Structure 1
């Protein structure tokens, strides 16, 4: 190639890959055999990596593929075999996206986001850079959603336009997803294929079986992927809960039946792999919460993850048993409840008091359930703490219960909201103070139980930081099982032995939720005074 040809092709690559601000990051790749030019839209933050990268220890990729610089996959993938490529969630908590490859076809399992930096009026949301898959979009046969949590479903609106394939999910997940797609202008474009909670279905060359698992939301389902080359159990998020209160229990019979087959790999949740014992049942929360709420003489607000259907069900029981009226605050929470009721859940939930009537209810008779457990700037509890909601407020003597764990990285915004509440004389109760939360993820004894039932040849830890993944791998090895220590971007060949055979480019994209035009704290909304008690 002449110098002139190289220069013209380089200029074309720059034009294609440059971001809105035109600033570029030049890096070498494949031992210097070709160059990738990637836009840096980090507004001069000095972050390491490529386009729209969040705070990650992992290398980021070019912002988009270009035919001049093809993305190459290992020769072993062209010769057949089943392969796993995690593009998010393996080496971090959140942003789960796993891609399986067989005979030139791809299947994506989950498509999630991760919440990063939070400003006073906005939240930075990260999702995987899937340029490797986007360059092969015509071979992606579908996206299968295991459950509705944002770290497994939240990036569908961002990434589906790059893949344009069917989305497979249960009725509840479909009801939950449709409003978000409509808001994004994709309501009529995305083909949603509703699947049953249990049973088998096919997507391209993949023979899939959905197995119900208990989690903190309903209709969570693991997948058995069967191909002539290998079989995989992909658990998703799960735990073994004998009394989940709402939704199906983990189908232990279906897991036992897998022992009669050869399961080459179990790709499993690592979130609590460092904790001994069993995760407590959701039913274990009812009595402690009834006692705690019953002891309060004024309003009680409980903040939680908006998609935690099991916890909403628990709090509805608590409201009934303590004689309090239930108030739901937060758009995402109301949307979750509406989707659950449309799918046949929460049918015995007591009448919910609309926020506009909040001021008419005696303080001792209120149980407020609200979003904002992670200090999200636009969530209900944050806006209440800042006195930015017209009809909702908390006063001295009221109590706020945090019925959720702290996500790593959210400590500062959580502390800020709690400081604002404490300044008003509002009591804060967290899981370190009382039994107000149980996890939806398995501890070590539950992992042992699963592997004794299924007896996989190899355990592949995912869904966790390096610490979680290592604890999970060590547990599997202590049981005499082999383990595959992989990270985002590793291409794992699954057969008699699981081995990393290559790497794919990875990275993060971001979008900002929130508006700089929202009212500042100095110009609070006037609220209607309706207090009579």
Structure 2
């Protein structure tokens, strides 16, 4: 985690930031609390749950975890660690709900390496594999599976390179076959290459979606290629992911997801129902607070906790303020929360006016009109009209639309009286209303209309 943070600080040109590294089982005192990280297995190495000591009792916050019995990299979630923590009693367990509606167990990353190696045997040309860049264990599994298939591995995507660099810094990449540079791909035949690419969630600017659209400059597709999604869709991303898959499929390229093969090509880094029950048995908490998931997943863990005779269950929402003790656990207040959006070089609220306006413009388009009036209120030059998102200027039939709009603007100005034509606000509003009415009449769209009135002596 510290290595990844340092690389992100470096990218942001933030220097000399103090990064304090905390080891598992360290005791950290902060105010009235004592916090101890407890190592757990997860797809991101060095994950830890938190054991929080308070005067009212002990609380375990699980963070992201699972019960992978033999992780490729990182810690195991050890029963003795949590049973030891439970000896003094656990007031509350605040737990990962991502897979609370999934029966069974999440599986082992070791099985993915075997499954990918089997899948690679059926692929005639290049193999593109996409997964989360933070899943270092998966990147190792892919590289080892490629080696078993007699293939070299290439990594494409900035976040992948950054994460692998951090993994090398932390000595996690021991006994992992060397990756070859992107520039060296042409030195190998197609059936000797595995390409790991970013974009498992359909992110438009990531490598794999760009390759699917045909706008990645260095890599174009071939019908002998195979694309493997070694990840599951985060709820809400399904449409974007399907768009990527459809683009590849339309190009005659085979696409394989976790449900499309009998081979294990993905396991989750989050606990399924059997694992959650096992954690309940280790900790024996008085209270369960489901977190980390959609509402249906939180409810699934709440139902699971009730079925396992947990005395109290609190179902939170974003911003809930929860009292765990003394007395009955309950929600006592709410703090307003909101989503944030990364807007290129800034972070802004997701409901920021600029985003709202851009979202609206994709449906309405915009018309810019500039009129230059002389001292008598007469046109000193032809009106200048620009449209965005309304017509194709190369289409002669649609180009006539601009001519008709031009005549409408002149008609509106001609209908104004002497006092009206001398009032910039009146001229602007009349043209704005008239332009929008005209466009709606012909196109059925009410665009944003920006009117600029210029006066010359």
- Category of TM-score, reference length = shorter chain: 0.7 to 0.9
- Which residue does the alignment assign to 1:15? none
| Structure 2 CA distance for aligned equivalents of residues 513 and 324 of structure 1 | 37
| Structure 2 CA distance for aligned equivalents of residues 176 and 224 of structure 1 | 24
- Which residue does the alignment assign to 2:282? 453
Equivalences for residues 77-226 of structure 1 within 5 A: 173-188=1-16, 190-226=17-53
Shift in Å, 1:206: 2.1
SS of equivalent to 2:258: coil
Matched, 1:233 2:46: no
- Which residue does the alignment assign to 2:246? 419
Matched, 1:473 2:283: no
SS of equivalent to 2:147: helix
Gaps of 5+ in 2: 347-357, 359-457
TM-score between both structures, scaled by the size of structure 2: 0.72
Shift in Å, 1:458: 0.4
| Structure 1 CA distance for aligned equivalents of residues 218 and 337 of structure 2 | 45
User: Per chain length, whose mean CA-contact separation is higher, i.e. which structure has more relative contact order (CA < 8 Å, sep 6+)?
Assistant: 1
Bigger helix share: 2
SS of equivalent to 1:232: strand
Matched, 1:298 2:125: yes
- Which residue does the alignment assign to 2:237? 410
Q: Is the 8 A contact 2:91 2:285 kept in 1?
A: yes
Q: Is the 8 A contact 2:24 2:36 kept in 1?
A: no
| Structure 2 CA distance for aligned equivalents of residues 183 and 337 of structure 1 | 15
SS of equivalent to 1:317: helix
| Structure 2 CA distance for aligned equivalents of residues 336 and 514 of structure 1 | 21
- Which residue does the alignment assign to 1:499? 330
More displaced stretch, 272-281 vs 215-224: 272-281
Shift in Å, 1:413: 1.8
Equivalences for residues 2-151 of structure 1 within 5 A: none
SS of equivalent to 1:195: coil
Residue among 485, 489, 493 paired with 2:315: 485
Q: Is the 8 A contact 1:211 1:251 kept in 2?
A: no
Q: Is the 8 A contact 2:132 2:231 kept in 1?
A: yes
Shift in Å, 1:514: 8.6
State the Cα deviation string for residues 308-335 of structure 1 (Å, max 9, x = none): 0110111111011111001011110011
Gaps of 5+ in 1: 1-172, 517-533
- Which residue does the alignment assign to 1:329? 156
For this pair of structures, how many residues does the alignment match?
343
CA RMSD of aligned residues (A): 1.8
Shift in Å, 1:372: 0.7
| Structure 2 CA distance for aligned equivalents of residues 411 and 279 of structure 1 | 21
Shift in Å, 1:245: 1.6
State the Cα deviation string for residues 305-362 of structure 1 (Å, max 9, x = none): 1110110111111011111001011110011011011011012221111111112210
Shift in Å, 1:412: 2.1
TM-score between both structures, scaled by the size of structure 1: 0.62
Shift in Å, 1:393: 3.0
More displaced stretch, 491-500 vs 342-351: 491-500
